[in-house]
Amino acid sequence: MKTEAHILVVKFLHAWKDNNHIKMYELTSKTWKSKHSKKDLKNLIPKRIKSFKVEEITEFSSCIYDVNITLRIGGKIKKVTARLLCELESFKPSVNGEFGINPVSITRNLY
């Protein structure tokens, strides 16, 4: 599960670096997508990152992982935490589901 979480967050961060909000949206959690649009994501995360480094992945529970990331954005270095959820469907966490990122978690220390 930790490897799956790492792969997903790296894909999300590469999409962010490429300013590809469509790909970023595809990698968000099912719960977040059930309430938000691609435009909402673009408004939430308008700035492009220059670089990133995944520092640590911690299992919060069997379906939730926190990923500590260092970002270079807007000429500054920021440390953020992305929360990844493993869900079968919206609001239904399960180890048998698919990982998705809660993009709100990334913005907590970003601006």
Amino acid identity for residue 101 in this structure: I
* CA gap 11, 4 in Å, rounded: 11
Specify the pTM. 0.94
Q: Supply 102's token pair.
A: 């809660």
Give the total number of structural domains in the chain: 1
The band of 1, judged by pLDDT with boundaries at 50, 70 and 90, is confident
DSSP letter for 28, please. B
* pLDDT tens sequence across 44-92: 999 999 999 999 999 999 999 999 999 999 889 999 999 999 999 999 9
> Where residue 57 sits, what CATH number does that domain have?
3.10.450.50
- Could you tell me which of 79, 74, 96 has the C-alpha nearest to residue 87? 96
Amino acid at 58: T
DSSP per-residue string spanning 53-77: EEEEEEEEETTEEEEEEEEEETTEE
Q: How far is CA 57 from CA 8, 69, 105, in A?
A: 12, 9, 14
Which structural domain, as residue segments, surrounds residue 101? 2-107
